[in-house]
């Protein structure tokens, strides 16, 4: 749905890559490019090793997670708790910058726990930028390391967009990307007047059709992603997107034994807000159909009378 939007992987820990199945964690479809690998870790040597792996596997950016607030991540001494140690983060960034040619970036919060101070995040960005990081993705909320679940940490700490704007004013040579609570094209455009970029998380996941507008709205690219992608009116259709996903499911199953439900669950928002969306989601989330080829499941999803039959 977008040729230009930069996609980030889920966070992969250094331990998973050093001790686990590298291919399972790092393989991706070429159509996912441009694609950044997000790493979780706090040991400079381990992060350098994993950054090198990411570059070798073809990722276009290596991103260090300094924003995840989960207790499991805290026990590993990385994620949001790293913001309390800017020099360690700087050492980690420098170790990665020294071994890869692709950009090394950092995603972080504006603070930790309930201490709210712009100087805290300003000092963090200043210290880490000196190690060679020129792009910061700012989730404009504090991370409460105690008392809130990761889910609540995405909603309860107040958003302070002005602090991200201030980072851009204080560090004009850095790329500042804003994240948190953004749900409309109008909001994105307003933020882009203040910062260099915007990262979308939950809204892009739950309402993915929004992505189909991005190339025209934000990149001045009016061409459809493919001649096959368009209707007679020249517009991309949800049906075409669904068909591309079905083809992808078939390829993944043939090559890696991946069953279609593990892929389909990530596209359940494609028909968000449309008539028949509930039936469509019900079919694509019906695990009892797992043995059926995905093209047949697609036919059932489009047949609104299927369960009545």
Catalytic site residues?
A: 68
Tokens of 7: 């996609």
Q: Which of 159, 206, 200 has its CA nearest to residue 177?
A: 200
Taking the C-alpha atoms of residue 288 and residue 299, their distance in angstroms, rounded to an integer, is: 16
Contact yes or no for 153/141 (Cβ under 8 A): yes
Taking the C-alpha atoms of residue 95 and residue 44, their distance in angstroms, rounded to an integer, is: 6
In the chain, count of helices (H) and strands (E)?
15, 7
Q: Cβ contacts of residue 10 below 8 Å, gap of 6+? A: 38
**C-beta atoms surrounding 73 within 10 Å:** 21
Taking the C-alpha atoms of residue 110 and residue 248, their distance in angstroms, rounded to an integer, is: 38
By three-state DSSP, how is residue 52 classified? Answer: helix
Taking the C-alpha atoms of residue 229 and residue 100, their distance in angstroms, rounded to an integer, is: 36
Taking the C-alpha atoms of residue 82 and residue 28, their distance in angstroms, rounded to an integer, is: 28
DSSP E strand stretches across the chain: 7-13, 35-40, 61-66, 104-112, 135-143, 175-179, 197-199
Q: Read off φ and ψ for residue 277, nearest 5 degrees.
A: -65, -35
Tokens of 19: 């001790």
DSSP 8-state assignment for residue 246: H
């Amino acid at each position: 749905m977008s040729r230009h939007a930069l996609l980030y992987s889920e966070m992969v820990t250094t331990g998973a890559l050093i001790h686990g199945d590298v291919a399972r964690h790092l393989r991706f479809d070429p159509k996912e490019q441009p694609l950044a690998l997000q790493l979780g870790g706090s040991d400079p040597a381990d992060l350098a090793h994993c950054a090198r792996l990411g570059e070798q596997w073809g990722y276009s950016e290596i991103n260090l997670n300094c924003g995840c607030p989960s207790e499991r991540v805290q026990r590993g001494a990385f994620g949001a708790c790293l913001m309390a140690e800017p020099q360690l983060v700087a050492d980690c960034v420098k170790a990665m910058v020294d071994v890869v040619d692709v950009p090394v970036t950092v995603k972080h919060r504006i603070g930790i726990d309930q201490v709210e101070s712009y100087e805290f995040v300003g000092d963090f960005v200043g210290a880490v930028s000196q190690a060679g990081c020129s792009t910061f993705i700012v989730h404009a909320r504090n991370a409460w390391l105690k008392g809130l679940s990761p889910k609540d940490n995405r909603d309860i700490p107040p958003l302070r967009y002005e602090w991200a704007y201030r980072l851009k004013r204080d560090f004009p040579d850095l790329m500042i990307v804003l994240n948190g609570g953004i749900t409309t094209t109008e909001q994105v455009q307003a933020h882009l007047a203040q910062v260099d970029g915007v990262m979308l998380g939950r809204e892009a996941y739950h309402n993915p059709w929004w992505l189909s507008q991005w190339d025209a709205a934000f990149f001045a690219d009016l061409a459809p992603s493919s001649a096959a992608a368009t209707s007679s009116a020249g517009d991309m259709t949800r049906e075409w997107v669904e068909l591309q996903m079905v083809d992808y499911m078939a390829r993944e199953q043939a090559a890696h034994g991946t069953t279609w439900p593990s892929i389909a669950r990530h596209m359940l928002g494609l028909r968000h807000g449309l008539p028949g969306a509930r039936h469509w989601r019900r079919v694509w989330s019906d695990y009892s159909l797992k043995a059926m080829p995905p093209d047949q499941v697609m036919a059932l999803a489009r047949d609104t009378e299927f369960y009545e039959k």
